[in-house]
A and B are shown apart, each in its own frame.
Chain A
Protein backbone atom coordinates (compact mmCIF):
# COMPACT_ATOMS: atom_id res chain seq x y z
CA UNK A 1 0.00 0.00 0.00
CA UNK A 2 0.87 3.68 -0.11
CA UNK A 3 3.55 4.62 2.39
CA UNK A 4 4.60 8.02 3.66
CA UNK A 5 7.97 8.30 5.34
CA UNK A 6 8.65 11.14 7.73
CA UNK A 7 12.10 12.08 9.02
CA UNK A 8 13.35 12.69 11.63
CA UNK A 9 11.00 10.90 14.00
CA UNK A 10 12.23 13.05 16.85
CA UNK A 11 14.52 16.03 17.18
CA UNK A 12 15.77 18.19 20.02
CA UNK A 13 17.15 21.61 19.24
CA UNK A 14 18.20 24.81 20.96
CA UNK A 15 16.00 27.86 20.94
CA UNK A 16 16.72 30.07 17.94
CA UNK A 17 17.82 27.32 15.60
CA UNK A 18 15.93 26.04 12.56
CA UNK A 19 14.73 22.48 12.09
CA UNK A 20 13.76 20.76 8.84
CA UNK A 21 11.30 17.86 8.70
CA UNK A 22 10.96 15.76 5.56
CA UNK A 23 7.89 13.99 4.26
CA UNK A 24 8.29 11.50 1.42
CA UNK A 25 5.80 9.42 -0.50
CA UNK A 26 7.64 6.17 -1.13
CA UNK A 27 5.68 4.36 -3.80
CA UNK A 28 3.37 6.94 -5.28
CA UNK A 29 3.43 10.51 -6.48
CA UNK A 30 1.83 13.07 -4.24
CA UNK A 31 0.97 16.39 -5.81
CA UNK A 32 -0.60 17.42 -2.54
CA UNK A 33 0.67 16.90 0.97
CA UNK A 34 -0.67 18.23 4.24
CA UNK A 35 1.14 19.30 7.39
CA UNK A 36 -0.53 18.97 10.77
CA UNK A 37 0.44 19.87 14.28
CA UNK A 38 -0.79 17.90 17.26
CA UNK A 39 -0.65 19.09 20.84
CA UNK A 40 -0.76 16.52 23.66
CA UNK A 41 -4.15 14.84 23.97
CA UNK A 42 -5.59 17.01 21.24
CA UNK A 43 -6.62 16.54 17.67
CA UNK A 44 -4.68 17.34 14.56
CA UNK A 45 -4.55 20.94 13.52
CA UNK A 46 -4.07 21.46 9.80
CA UNK A 47 -1.23 23.92 9.33
CA UNK A 48 -0.87 24.07 5.58
CA UNK A 49 -1.47 22.36 2.28
CA UNK A 50 1.67 21.74 0.29
CA UNK A 51 1.33 21.74 -3.50
CA UNK A 52 4.06 20.47 -5.77
CA UNK A 53 5.59 23.24 -7.80
CA UNK A 54 3.66 26.06 -6.18
CA UNK A 55 3.39 27.95 -2.92
CA UNK A 56 1.85 26.28 0.07
CA UNK A 57 -1.56 27.33 1.30
CA UNK A 58 -1.50 28.16 4.99
CA UNK A 59 -4.39 27.93 7.41
CA UNK A 60 -5.49 31.01 9.27
CA UNK A 61 -3.24 31.82 12.17
CA UNK A 62 -0.25 29.86 10.91
CA UNK A 63 2.80 32.03 10.24
CA UNK A 64 4.16 31.22 6.82
CA UNK A 65 7.50 32.86 7.59
CA UNK A 66 7.82 30.73 10.69
CA UNK A 67 6.85 27.42 9.09
CA UNK A 68 8.44 27.25 5.67
CA UNK A 69 7.08 24.60 3.36
CA UNK A 70 8.75 23.45 0.19
CA UNK A 71 7.28 20.85 -2.15
CA UNK A 72 10.00 20.63 -4.76
CA UNK A 73 9.17 17.21 -6.18
CA UNK A 74 6.24 14.83 -6.48
CA UNK A 75 7.58 12.71 -3.65
CA UNK A 76 9.01 15.19 -1.17
CA UNK A 77 7.68 18.01 0.95
CA UNK A 78 9.67 19.69 3.70
CA UNK A 79 8.60 21.74 6.70
CA UNK A 80 11.22 24.03 8.22
CA UNK A 81 10.53 25.52 11.62
CA UNK A 82 12.60 28.69 11.61
CA UNK A 83 14.06 30.26 14.74
CA UNK A 84 12.36 27.64 16.86
CA UNK A 85 11.19 28.48 20.37
CA UNK A 86 9.91 26.25 23.18
CA UNK A 87 6.30 26.98 22.24
CA UNK A 88 6.98 25.35 18.86
CA UNK A 89 7.57 22.04 20.62
CA UNK A 90 4.94 19.68 19.29
CA UNK A 91 4.23 16.58 17.26
CA UNK A 92 4.22 17.38 13.55
CA UNK A 93 2.55 14.97 11.16
CA UNK A 94 2.45 15.03 7.39
CA UNK A 95 0.06 13.25 5.09
CA UNK A 96 -0.18 12.71 1.38
CA UNK A 97 -3.24 12.29 -0.75
CA UNK A 98 -3.31 8.84 -2.29
CA UNK A 99 -4.60 8.77 -5.86
CA UNK A 100 -8.19 7.55 -5.67
CA UNK A 101 -8.91 4.06 -6.98
CA UNK A 102 -12.30 4.49 -8.45
CA UNK A 103 -14.07 4.98 -5.14
CA UNK A 104 -13.20 8.66 -5.16
CA UNK A 105 -12.50 8.73 -1.45
CA UNK A 106 -10.06 11.39 -0.34
CA UNK A 107 -7.76 8.87 1.31
CA UNK A 108 -4.80 10.26 3.13
CA UNK A 109 -1.77 8.27 4.19
CA UNK A 110 0.04 9.68 7.19
CA UNK A 111 3.65 9.74 8.17
CA UNK A 112 4.65 8.45 11.59
CA UNK A 113 5.14 12.00 12.87
CA UNK A 114 8.09 14.04 14.09
CA UNK A 115 8.34 15.06 17.71
CA UNK A 116 10.10 18.39 18.05
CA UNK A 117 11.42 19.53 21.42
CA UNK A 118 12.90 23.01 21.62
CA UNK A 119 15.03 23.70 24.66
Chain B
Protein backbone atom coordinates (compact mmCIF):
# COMPACT_ATOMS: atom_id res chain seq x y z
CA UNK B 1 0.00 0.00 0.00
CA UNK B 2 1.27 3.45 -0.92
CA UNK B 3 1.98 5.71 2.00
CA UNK B 4 4.35 6.52 4.83
CA UNK B 5 5.65 3.65 6.97
CA UNK B 6 7.12 4.22 10.43
CA UNK B 7 8.92 1.73 12.62
CA UNK B 8 8.74 0.86 15.43
CA UNK B 9 5.17 1.60 16.54
CA UNK B 10 6.03 1.51 20.23
CA UNK B 11 9.29 1.83 22.15
CA UNK B 12 10.35 2.17 25.76
CA UNK B 13 13.83 3.51 26.45
CA UNK B 14 15.82 4.13 29.56
CA UNK B 15 17.27 7.59 30.09
CA UNK B 16 20.54 7.88 28.22
CA UNK B 17 19.84 5.14 25.69
CA UNK B 18 19.91 5.85 21.99
CA UNK B 19 17.62 4.77 19.19
CA UNK B 20 16.65 5.54 15.61
CA UNK B 21 13.11 5.96 14.36
CA UNK B 22 12.70 4.85 10.78
CA UNK B 23 10.45 6.38 8.14
CA UNK B 24 9.97 5.42 4.51
CA UNK B 25 7.59 6.65 1.82
CA UNK B 26 6.86 5.12 -1.56
CA UNK B 27 5.13 8.07 -3.22
CA UNK B 28 8.26 9.64 -4.68
CA UNK B 29 7.74 12.76 -2.56
CA UNK B 30 10.54 15.25 -2.29
CA UNK B 31 9.89 16.66 1.18
CA UNK B 32 9.80 14.70 4.40
CA UNK B 33 9.21 15.80 7.98
CA UNK B 34 9.45 14.65 11.57
CA UNK B 35 6.97 15.96 14.13
CA UNK B 36 6.32 15.28 17.78
CA UNK B 37 2.88 15.45 19.30
CA UNK B 38 2.38 16.22 22.96
CA UNK B 39 -0.90 16.67 24.83
CA UNK B 40 -2.22 20.22 24.57
CA UNK B 41 0.63 21.35 22.32
CA UNK B 42 -0.35 20.03 18.94
CA UNK B 43 2.28 18.88 16.48
CA UNK B 44 5.65 20.54 16.50
CA UNK B 45 8.22 20.26 13.74
CA UNK B 46 11.54 18.68 14.74
CA UNK B 47 13.40 18.46 11.43
CA UNK B 48 12.54 18.44 7.78
CA UNK B 49 14.18 17.56 4.50
CA UNK B 50 13.18 19.42 1.36
CA UNK B 51 15.03 17.00 -0.89
CA UNK B 52 17.46 14.11 -0.82
CA UNK B 53 20.69 15.20 0.79
CA UNK B 54 19.32 18.25 2.62
CA UNK B 55 18.00 18.61 6.16
CA UNK B 56 16.92 21.62 8.21
CA UNK B 57 15.95 22.28 11.79
CA UNK B 58 12.38 22.88 12.76
CA UNK B 59 10.88 24.33 15.90
CA UNK B 60 12.21 21.78 18.43
CA UNK B 61 15.43 20.15 17.09
CA UNK B 62 17.46 19.91 20.30
CA UNK B 63 18.31 16.36 21.29
CA UNK B 64 17.65 14.95 17.82
CA UNK B 65 19.54 14.23 14.63
CA UNK B 66 18.22 13.19 11.24
CA UNK B 67 19.45 11.49 8.10
CA UNK B 68 17.88 11.63 4.65
CA UNK B 69 19.37 8.38 3.43
CA UNK B 70 17.76 8.55 0.00
CA UNK B 71 14.55 9.91 -1.47
CA UNK B 72 12.46 7.25 0.28
CA UNK B 73 13.91 7.22 3.78
CA UNK B 74 14.21 9.83 6.52
CA UNK B 75 15.35 8.67 9.95
CA UNK B 76 15.27 10.42 13.34
CA UNK B 77 17.90 9.59 15.95
CA UNK B 78 17.88 10.21 19.68
CA UNK B 79 21.50 10.01 20.84
CA UNK B 80 20.81 10.16 24.59
CA UNK B 81 17.13 9.87 25.38
CA UNK B 82 15.60 12.03 28.09
CA UNK B 83 12.18 11.80 29.77
CA UNK B 84 11.25 15.09 28.06
CA UNK B 85 11.40 13.22 24.77
CA UNK B 86 8.50 11.01 25.74
CA UNK B 87 6.03 11.74 22.98
CA UNK B 88 4.34 10.45 19.87
CA UNK B 89 6.50 10.94 16.80
CA UNK B 90 5.06 11.32 13.32
CA UNK B 91 6.79 11.23 9.99
CA UNK B 92 5.18 12.90 7.00
CA UNK B 93 5.93 13.46 3.34
CA UNK B 94 4.78 16.16 0.96
CA UNK B 95 4.65 16.66 -2.78
CA UNK B 96 4.26 20.28 -3.88
CA UNK B 97 0.69 21.47 -3.45
CA UNK B 98 -0.88 18.17 -2.52
CA UNK B 99 -0.45 18.49 1.19
CA UNK B 100 0.88 16.05 3.69
CA UNK B 101 0.64 12.29 4.12
CA UNK B 102 1.36 11.05 7.63
CA UNK B 103 2.64 7.80 9.02
CA UNK B 104 0.80 6.10 11.86
CA UNK B 105 3.26 7.28 14.51
CA UNK B 106 5.77 5.93 17.01
CA UNK B 107 4.81 6.11 20.66
CA UNK B 108 8.03 6.59 22.64
CA UNK B 109 8.34 6.45 26.41
CA UNK B 110 11.60 7.35 28.13
CA UNK B 111 11.85 6.21 31.74
Q: Do A and B bind each other?
A: no
